[in-house]
Every structure is written in C-alpha cells, then in structure tokens.
Amino acid sequence: MKEYYLYTFLLGAVALIAVLYQYHSSDNLSSEIVIDVKQRNNCSFGSFLLTGMSFCHHWLTCSDIFREVTDTQLLLGEGTQKIVREGVWRGHAVALNYLKTDFYVMDFKNDLKLLSYFSKEPKVNQLIGWCIEDLEFPIIITEKHPLGSPNKLENLFEKFPNLNTITFRFMLCVQYLEILAFLHTSTEGPFVMCDSNDPEKALSQLLLTNNLTLVINDMDAVPQVIRHNGTLIKCGHAQLFGDLVAPEQLWPFENLPFNDTAMHSYDEKVDIWKIPDVCNYLIGNGPGSSILKLHLFNIHSKCKETDPIKRPTVETVLESYLSIKKMLEKNFIKIS
C-alpha cells in the first residue's frame, strides 16, 4: 500500500509539474506543489491534508495551536476586519487569519461556519483549525497560497508574464462562475457573495492556488437566502451606491433619507448583475479581449436585466461561457 501512495503521489506530482512548466516555462513558480484535490477530498470531514503530509490531520484545536503553531510575522494581507500573517505548523506554512476587532466577531464566526460547512468543496480554501474563545485575537487557520488573490492581476503578470494570455484570463472567469455556482446551488443555499461591490473587492475574496485554480477564501459576508420561508438577504446595513451594485440594492426613495428598516431585501441575483464587471476586469484589454467580449455580449446583457427575475441563473451563464470557451479554443492560440 505504501508503494501505491508513493506511486500516485509521484504521478500527481509529475502531472502538476507538467502543468506548471507549461504555464511558467521561464519562471520558477513554485517550490511547493499543491496537494492533489482528490487526496484532500479523501480526508474525512473535520480534517485536512497539506502538501507533504501522508495522513489527514484533524482540524487544529486551541491547544494544538498554542503548542504547535508559530507566527512568522510575515504579513500576507489586511482588511478592516482581519489581518493575515504567515504561520508555521510542523514545518508547513499556513495562513493565520486574526480578527482585528470584536465588532466583527459575528462575521468572523460566519466565515468559520461556512469554511467548515463547505470544507469538502474543492473550490473552498482548506480549513486547518481555529481558536475563537481562548485568545485575545481570535484566529482561523487556513491553507496558504503564495500567489495570493487574483485582484491584482498586474502584479501576478509582472512576475509570470507567460500567464498573461486571454486563455488564462478567461479561465479565471469560468472559475469565478464555478464558485458562484456552488454557492447558489448548495442545498442549504443559495448563498450570496456580498463583498463584491467592485470587481477588485470581489476577487480579493478568492485565492489563486499554485495549480492556477481559484478557491474562495473569505466568507465573512456570504449570507444565506432561505427559500422555503422567503427569507431574503441584505448586503450590510449601510446605503449602497453606484453602477456596480445591482439596482435592487440601491435605496429606492430618492427624496427620503436612507433607513435600513425600510430598505427591501433581495436574493442571489445580485451576484448575476456583477458577473460582467468581474469578468471584464479579469479579461482586461489585451490582445483577443475585444473579440471575446463581443462573444460575451449577449449573455452579459442578460445579466444586466434590471428585473432580477429576468436575469439568468449562474448555471445558465456558466453554460454559455463554456460553449464560448469551446468555440474559441482553436482561435485563442492565434490571438493570444
């Protein structure tokens, strides 16, 4: 059996190296190879597997964290609610997500709830452990992905110019939709990706793994629509502005001051409204982008229907993206 594991591991490693080599022939992307998702998914609920580990390990508890996790102080990211630093657990680099202020503790707990609820979902960043009650600064530990979020694509392409192709950029769009798709179609859902009032913000909730797939990492603001009793959601309690938020998210009474109690709630169709903006941001303005946007025009127009009921579901948009991807595959080689 040992040989079997070694063999499958080596086979997986070779396949990944081939993929990475193809994308980064001139760059030295990774010293670390992302764990094959099939192996990770073999872990039972409540455990995790990192590259180099032979066995799944149960989620780390407070005492595991006190004993075995060190904070290297390397800053990985910071927002209003959280600060993320690199940590080390038994030689593995991990991401330490610290809550900055008690004011956001409910969001932090929501994040944890969804990270564990969706922990078998390959498009969700892997949960490693947490300690909420016993610490001055509660902590959630997740898998670290050195490429970071796809919201600063220029930085990524500066380091890895070979990645800057229309094929890769459109593949990110498809993956963004795949993330929305499992949120919207989850049996407990739909869940709505609220932190998305501009494309960069939406993409900052995600991480790019070393094998160049997107995972959702931040689920602080992912509320749940409860269909069977008609419970809709609101993205926060403040007034929202601008073209990038869906029309039903805007305060409708121009002459009256904003009043959250009187503001109506809405559903996951707000995510559909934002798809064209996020995807156009990912596609950019480089070679091949105009023709791709032309092909997307039809489906994107439907996403921008003022009436949310008339907007397509994410599965319909994804289907349309996949057929465009197929149709353009041959041409991509020429235009990219």
Q: Which residue among 51, 205, 209, 249 contacts ligand NAG (CB under 6 A)?
A: 209
Is residue 259 near ligand NAG by the rule CB under 6 A? yes
Is residue 186 near ligand NAG by the rule CB under 6 A? no
Residue span binding ligand NAG (CB under 6 A) among the ranges 164-172, 196-204, 209-217, 238-246: 209-217
Take residue 149 and report the two structure tokens written for it. Answer: 């979020």
Residue span binding ligand NAG (CB under 6 A) among the ranges 25-33, 185-193, 226-234, 264-272: 226-234
Q: Is the peptide bond before 150 cis (omega within 30 degrees of 0)?
A: no
**Separation of alpha carbons 236 and 266, rounded Å:** 12
The nearest distance, CB 136 to ligand NAG, in angstroms, is 32
Subset of residues 70 to 129 that bind ligand NAG, contact rule: CB under 6 A: 122
Is residue 213 near ligand NAG by the rule CB under 6 A? yes
If you search the block for the tokens 């949120």, which residue do you land on?
Answer: 183
> CA nearest 220: which of 209, 204, 231?
204
Residue span binding ligand NAG (CB under 6 A) among the ranges 75-83, 132-140, 174-182, 256-264: 256-264
The nearest distance, CB 203 to ligand NAG, in angstroms, is 17
The nearest distance, CB 263 to ligand NAG, in angstroms, is 9
232 near 186, Cβ under 8 Å? no
If you search the block for the tokens 């001055």, which residue do you land on?
Answer: 136
Task: Output the CA torsion sign for 230, 231, 234, 237.
Answer: positive
CA dihedral 328, 329, 333, 336 (to 10 degrees): 60
Is residue 239 near ligand NAG by the rule CB under 6 A? no
**Separation of alpha carbons 194 and 269, rounded Å:** 11
CA angle centred on 51, ends 50 and 52, rounded to 5°: 110
The nearest distance, CB 156 to ligand NAG, in angstroms, is 17
Distances (CA, A) of 197 to 201, 231, 313: 7, 22, 19
DSSP codes joined into one string, 134-170: S-SS-EEEEE--TT--TT-HHHHHHH-GGG-SHHHHH
User: Binding residues for ligand NAG, how many (CB under 6 A)?
Assistant: 16
Task: Output the CA torsion sign for 268, 272, 273, 278.
Answer: positive
The nearest distance, CB 6 to ligand NAG, in angstroms, is 11
Contact string 20-59 vs ligand NAG (x = CB under 6 A): --------------x--x-x--x-----------------
**Separation of alpha carbons 274 and 276, rounded Å:** 6
Q: Which is nearer to ligand NAG, 5 or 103 (CB)?
A: 5
Q: Which is nearer to ligand NAG, 47 or 213 (CB)?
A: 213
The nearest distance, CB 329 to ligand NAG, in angstroms, is 17
Q: Which residue among 18, 105, 226, 333 contacts ligand NAG (CB under 6 A)?
A: 226
Take residue 168 and report the two structure tokens written for it. Answer: 């890769």
CB environment 180-193: b (16+ within 10 A), e (fewer): bbbbbeeeebbbbb
Q: Which is nearer to ligand NAG, 106 or 262 (CB)?
A: 262
Is residue 231 near ligand NAG by the rule CB under 6 A? yes
The nearest distance, CB 228 to ligand NAG, in angstroms, is 7
Q: Which is nearer to ligand NAG, 1 or 294 (CB)?
A: 1
By the criterion CB under 6 A, which residues form the site for ligand NAG? 16, 19, 34, 37, 39, 42, 122, 209, 211, 213, 226, 229, 231, 259, 261-262
